[in-house]
């Protein structure tokens, strides 16, 4: 089904929060899925896949050297956020390696925002996927089939200078019923159960609106 990008962002944010992320990372997850879906990449499915792995992943243990998690599986959302937080490092020609990354596709939007910040394209590579973005536009090619790998042993992020054939994003996203439903299930955990007190007090109803 066709969704507006705002719908996608709002749903993905709630899903990430519902799965246990703090609000800040959840906000970024929403924007990341929006960015991917606007480039016709299956960001929503990647997020669902990632949220389903449970608590086995973690953030980088340190911002020095190659990034890896103490749990052995690197979280793409927290490491993506760190990549963007430290975008200046990439501007210096630094090559950042991320090891054992869950759903590596989710790294790509964060690399894009880093590119926007340093005003230079960034290339992200994993398992035969090569994607270059200037922040707004994207080229991804030589995909070994599906970019939606569940795990990548190494993700490499570095500055690039080729901006040929970068494609602008679209204004809609297409997400399958099953994936949307899976996001809804996570999002639902952020809603307080309905109660009469909530209906009357919470929204200030109970006063007739007739006049």
Partner 1 sequence: MDRRADTSPSIPLRPPAHMMRLARLGSFHQSRLSFMRILTRRMKREAWTFTRPVFDIDANGVGHAVYAAHTPDRTYSLVAFAHDLPADKRSDRVIAEAWDSTFALFDGVPTEADIERLRANVPYQEAGRVTESELSLSRANRSVRLWEYMVSCLAEGRQPEPAEVTKVGYLMRTTAVYGSGKFGAADREAIAARPECNAPFQIEMLSVYLTRTYVRDLMQHMANARGGAKAVTLNPKIARAMGIGNSTGLGMAPFLVNHPELFNNWIAAREAAIARVRSLPSARASEAQLFRDLLARAILSASQWQSDHPVQVEKLAALRPDLDHLAAHVAQTDLRGNMPWNRLFDWAEANLGVDAQECLASLMLEPYGGLVDDLTTQMADTNTEGFRIDGTMTIGAVQQILTQVYDWALDIDWSAKDNCARAWYVSEEKLEPRLGERFDEPIANYEQPLAPGRDAAALSVALTTWDASKPVAEFLLAQPEHRHTVRRAQIAARAPYAEIRDNTIGADLMPIDMLRCKLSFFGASHFDPRSDRWVRICMFGNAPYPEELATSDDHWPYPVLP
Would you count residue 109 as binding partner 1 (CB under 8 A)? no
Task: Report the alpha-carbon distance of residue 204 to residue 202 in Å, rounded.
Answer: 6
Would you count residue 211 as binding partner 1 (CB under 8 A)? yes
What 3-state DSSP class applies to 37?
A: helix
Read off the tokens for 156.
């490499």
Would you count residue 193 as binding partner 1 (CB under 8 A)? yes
In the complex, minimum distance from the CB of residue 113 to partner 1, in angstroms, rounded to a whole number: 6
The DSSP 8-state label assigned to residue 123 in this structure reads: E
The CB density around residue 126, as the number of other CB atoms within 10 Å, is 22
Choose, by CB under 8 A, the member of 54, 144, 164, 191 that binds partner 1.
191
Q: Restricting to residues 165-184, name those near partner 1 by CB under 8 A.
A: 171-172
Decide the pairing of beta strands 122-126 and 172-174.
Answer: unpaired
Read off the tokens for 63.
């911002």
| Tokens 């990647």 -> residue | 46
Would you count residue 194 as binding partner 1 (CB under 8 A)? yes
Q: Restricting to residues 49-88, name those near partner 1 by CB under 8 A.
A: 59-60, 63, 78, 81-82, 84-88
Q: Which residues bind partner 1 (CB under 8 A)?
A: 2-7, 21-25, 27-28, 31, 59-60, 63, 78, 81-82, 84-88, 113, 116-117, 171-172, 188, 190-195, 197-199, 201-211
């Amino acid at each position: 089904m066709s969704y507006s990008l705002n719908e996608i962002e709002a749903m993905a944010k709630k899903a990430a929060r519902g799965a246990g992320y703090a609000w800040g990372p959840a906000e970024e997850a929403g924007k990341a899925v929006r960015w991917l879906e606007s480039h016709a990449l299956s960001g929503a499915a990647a997020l669902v896949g990632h949220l389903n792995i449970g608590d086995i992943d973690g953030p980088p243990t340190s911002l020095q050297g190659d990034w890896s998690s103490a749990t052995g599986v690197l979280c793409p959302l927290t490491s993506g956020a760190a990549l963007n937080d430290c975008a200046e490092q990439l501007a210096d020609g630094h090559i950042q390696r991320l090891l054992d990354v869950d759903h590596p596709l989710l790294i790509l939007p964060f690399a894009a925002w880093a590119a926007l910040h340093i005003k230079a394209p960034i290339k992200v590579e994993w398992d035969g996927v090569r994607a270059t973005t200037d922040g707004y536009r994207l080229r991804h090619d030589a995909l070994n089939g599906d970019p939606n790998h569940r795990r990548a042993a190494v993700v490499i992020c570095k500055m690039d200078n080729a901006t040929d054939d970068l494609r602008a994003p679209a204004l809609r996203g297409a997400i399958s019923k099953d994936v949307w439903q899976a996001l809804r299930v996570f999002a639902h955990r952020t809603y307080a159960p309905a109660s009469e007190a909530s209906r009357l007090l919470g929204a200030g109803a109970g006063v007739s609106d007739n006049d």
